[in-house]
């Protein structure tokens, strides 16, 4: 019963009904009830008209607020429409009714009064006068104050509604309280087995789980469990998933909040929410508090960007106090995630607050394969899908990227009405994730197509010649996103350290597009703008981060990945000029090297470009065959029509359905052929058996024939698979 009453009070409809009832009561108190059937308010002209017609029996005149108020009665009841002039009367209707009394106002001047007296004498109406009334001023004052009083009452009711009816979390006066509610441990189904590709990171968090399950194991030995764990890594690497897995394994309440949720427009709100959050966590201990993007409130203090009274600094100060005030038996652990640990305040990172720092980096090839297996559990994969190969083709991808690739592959398979995800679907999904959807409807002139083909062929030639560390996996001239074509070069192995030679070769590969255009067409185009952007970034890092130039030496002039919003540079203008010269020198040398490679392999460059114009897309096998032999390899059957043959979605879908029918017919034909060959093989075996019974003297010949039949079987199976 109490819960039902609280639910009623928390319902906004209840307050609307109360508000309307109050309006009706005020309307009734101000005279609205008099309109129910006995009196009406008429205009002065109507009063004069009724007086001339002899309808008025008697009336009285009383001064009030600078006018005369006239009220009287009719000789006989008059029929009138039920219309109210009261601004608070929302409940009247327009039906007809009988009235016996009336009221009106007229100006305070002698001519008006004299005119009314004359008309009253002529119509035998009794006229009386009264003294000035003082109640009108009070009524006007009350009418003006009623809306203000009603607004204050409604505001007070809303405040009480948020504080009591909603448990104190969502009211207008409760913005200082944390809105985070603990997640029910029984509903958290995430376990360490659901986190793939991060074995070392999981090991670092096992102790946290064991402490939450059995804290006495550590406390009796005098050990202190880390009060905070900082997860650092690029977006999408699974930091939040790791924190949820810790809470799921420990089976404890899990509080999740973003760093930006602490900061509001009111001063002191962030600090208040920090206190409330930690108080709730302590009440439900053992528990875990997860703060995502903690750099929103944990940035280094004293950088001059927050003004005189920075709200973020107050919030950070309160967070430091709460984290350092833990006792050994409270059982509250803070897990925070960020991808900018370099901007965090040193006091937040010291031992006693975030004792343990776990780097959640991009997974290697084995980690990507494990992640793909997790995300592929509920997806039907075709036999030609090799997740290990997919993992090799996606270096630098994080868990979120890999999940997106498999999801896009499922969508691609659904578009062609497929029943399973094939390797071609995954290949198309990778292209969509990397470069965006194909622009099949874009009209491109033959001249521009030829330029794009020689541009991409230039990239490929440079990548094939300088293939010590990278391989050319795919090249296409099909427009995707803002690119007219693209070339995918992947490292042969996961690389964590790059040499100067490898970085220079990457720049040469990027310059290969412009070199390909210059060597064949001659004129330069804007198609290499993105190549120059990437090449400049690599060359700039070689100079200012890695110390790979002789002119500037082994000096780190800038921190990698750090940008200054005010444009401040920690070096002089002379050093800046030297940096520009060093970067330009690297780019010029790379361009000269790329032009040299293209000219030395002019024929191979032309062959690859012409193949691109014909087939539009070349894979690794085809590119290598063209480079080595000048010919395309044996034609492989495509899983679905190439992008060049499908200009619209409807065409691609129809062609895909036709291809599925052809595959099914081919499969039936191969099965029938295999059955026929099997029958043919069984017949000699039966004859050999008969010969063995009739000629036991010659077993060697029978054995030879049987061996011959056995050797044919694998060949037939191979033919069937193909």
State the catalytic residues.
Answer: 456
Would the annotation count 165 as a binding residue? no
The 10 Å Cβ neighbour count of residue 257 is 19
Tell me whether residue 419 is annotated as binding. no
- Residue 478 tokens read as 């099909």
Q: In degrees rounded to 5, what are phi and psi of residue 79?
A: -90, 130
Triad 53, 55, 58: Cα angle to 5°: 125
CB 387 within 8 A of CB 372: yes
**481 in a known ligand binding site:** no
Instruction: Determine whether the annotation assigns residue 171 to a binding site.
Output: no
Q: Which residue has the tokens 């997640």?
A: 183
CA distance 458 to 152: 75
Is 455 flagged in the annotation as binding? yes
Distance CA 123, CA 54 (A): 5
Tokens matching residue 164: 């009591």
- Residue 182 is given by DSSP the state P
Q: Is 237 annotated as a binding residue?
A: yes
| Nearest C-alpha neighbor of 150 from the set 249, 24, 62 | 24
Cα–Cα distance, 619 to 473 (Å, whole number): 6
Contact 587, 535 (CB under 8 A): yes
Please report where in the chains the tokens 């009386």 appear, as a residue: 128
- Alpha helix (H) ranges present in 342-417? 346-349, 365-375, 387-392, 399-415
235 is in an annotated binding site: yes
Q: Which whole-number Å values give the CA distances from 393 to 470, 475, 483, 502, in the listed order?
A: 12, 14, 20, 19
In angstroms and rounded to an integer, the radius of gyration of the C-alpha atoms of the chain is: 43
Check the annotation: does 531 bind a ligand: yes
Residue 561 annotated as lining a ligand binding site: no
Count CB-CB contacts under 10 A for residue 603.
Answer: 9
Under 8 Å between Cβ of 335 and 243? yes
Binding residues for Zn(2+): 455, 459, 531
Binding residues: 233-240, 455, 459, 531
Binding residues for ATP: 233-240
């Amino acid at each position: 019963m109490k819960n039902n009453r609280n639910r009623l009070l928390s319902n906004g409809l209840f307050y609307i009904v109360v508000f309307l009832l109050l309006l009706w009561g005020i309307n009734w108190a101000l005279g609205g009830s008099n309109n129910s059937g006995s009196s009406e308010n008429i205009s002065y002209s109507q009063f004069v008209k009724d007086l001339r017609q002899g309808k008025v029996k008697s009336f009285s005149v009383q001064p009030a607020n600078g006018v005369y108020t006239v009220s009287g009665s009719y000789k006989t009841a008059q029929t009138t429409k039920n219309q109210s002039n009261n601004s608070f009367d929302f409940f009247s209707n327009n039906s007809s009714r009988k009235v016996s009394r009336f009221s009106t106002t007229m100006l305070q001047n002698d001519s008006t009064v004299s005119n009314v007296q004359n008309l009253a004498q002529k119509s035998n109406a009794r006229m009386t006068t009264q003294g000035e009334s003082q109640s009108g001023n009070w009524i006007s004052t009350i009418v003006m104050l009623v809306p203000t009083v009603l607004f204050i009452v409604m505001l007070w009711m809303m405040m009480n509604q948020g504080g009591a009816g909603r448990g104190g979390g969502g009211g207008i006066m409760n913005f200082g309280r944390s809105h985070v509610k603990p997640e029910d441990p029984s509903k958290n189904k995430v376990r360490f087995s659901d986190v793939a590709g991060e074995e070392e990171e999981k090991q670092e968090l096992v102790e946290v789980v064991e402490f939450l399950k059995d804290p006495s194991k550590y406390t009796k030995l005098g050990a202190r469990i880390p009060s905070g764990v900082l997860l650092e890594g690029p977006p999408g690497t699974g930091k939040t998933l790791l924190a949820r897995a810790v809470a799921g394994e420990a089976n404890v309440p899990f509080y999740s909040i973003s760093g930006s949720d602490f900061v509001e427009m009111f001063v002191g709100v962030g600090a208040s929410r920090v206190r409330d959050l930690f108080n709730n966590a302590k009440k439900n201990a053992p528990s875990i508090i997860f703060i995502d993007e903690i750099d929103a409130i944990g940035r280094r203090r004293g950088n001059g960007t927050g003004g005189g009274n920075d709200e973020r600094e107050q919030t950070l100060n309160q967070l430091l106090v709460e984290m350092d005030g833990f006792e050994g038996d409270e059982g509250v652990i803070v897990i925070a995630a960020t991808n900018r640990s370099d901007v965090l305040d040193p006091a937040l990172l010291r031992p006693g607050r975030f004792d343990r720092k776990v780097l959640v980096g991009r997974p290697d090839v084995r980690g990507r394969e494990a992640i793909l297996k997790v995300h592929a559990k509920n997806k039907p994969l075709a036999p030609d899908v090799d997740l290990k190969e997919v993992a090799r083709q996606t270096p630098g991808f994080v868990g979120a990227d890999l999940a997106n690739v498999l999801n896009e592959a499922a969508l691609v398979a659904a578009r062609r009405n497929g029943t399973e995800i094939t390797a071609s679907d995954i290949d198309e999904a990778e292209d969509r994730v990397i470069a965006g959807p194909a622009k099949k409807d874009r009209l491109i002139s033959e001249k521009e197509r030829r330029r794009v083909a020689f541009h991409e062929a230039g990239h490929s030639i440079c990548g094939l010649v300088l293939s010590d560390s990278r391989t050319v996996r795919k090249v296409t001239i099909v427009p995707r996103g803002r690119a007219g074509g693209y070339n995918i070069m992947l490292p042969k192995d996961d690389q964590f350290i790059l040499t100067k030679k490898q970085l220079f070769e990457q720049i040469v590969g990027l310059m290969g597009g412009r070199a390909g255009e210059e060597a064949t067409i001659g004129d330069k185009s804007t198609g290499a703008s993105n190549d120059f952007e990437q090449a400049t970034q690599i060359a700039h890092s070689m100079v200012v981060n890695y110390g790979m130039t002789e002119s500037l030496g082994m000096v780190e002039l800038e921190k990698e990945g750090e940008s200054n919003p005010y444009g401040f540079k920690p070096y002089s203008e002379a050093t800046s000029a030297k940096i520009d010269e060093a970067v330009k020198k690297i780019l010029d040398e790379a361009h000269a090297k790329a032009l040299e490679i293209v000219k030395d392999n002019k024929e191979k460059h032309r062959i690859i470009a012409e193949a691109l114009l014909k087939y539009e897309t070349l894979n690794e096998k085809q590119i290598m065959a063209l480079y080595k032999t000048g010919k395309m390899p044996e034609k492989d059957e495509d899983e679905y029509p190439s992008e060049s043959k499908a200009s619209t979605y409807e065409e691609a879908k129809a062609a895909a359905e036709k291809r599925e029918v052809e595959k099914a017919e081919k499969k039936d034909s191969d099965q029938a052929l295999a059955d026929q060959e099997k029958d043919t093989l069984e017949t000699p075996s039966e004859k050999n058996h008969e010969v063995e019974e009739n000629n036991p003297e010659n077993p060697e010949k029978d054995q030879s024939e049987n061996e011959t039949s056995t050797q044919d079987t694998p060949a037939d199976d191979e033919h069937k698979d193909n």
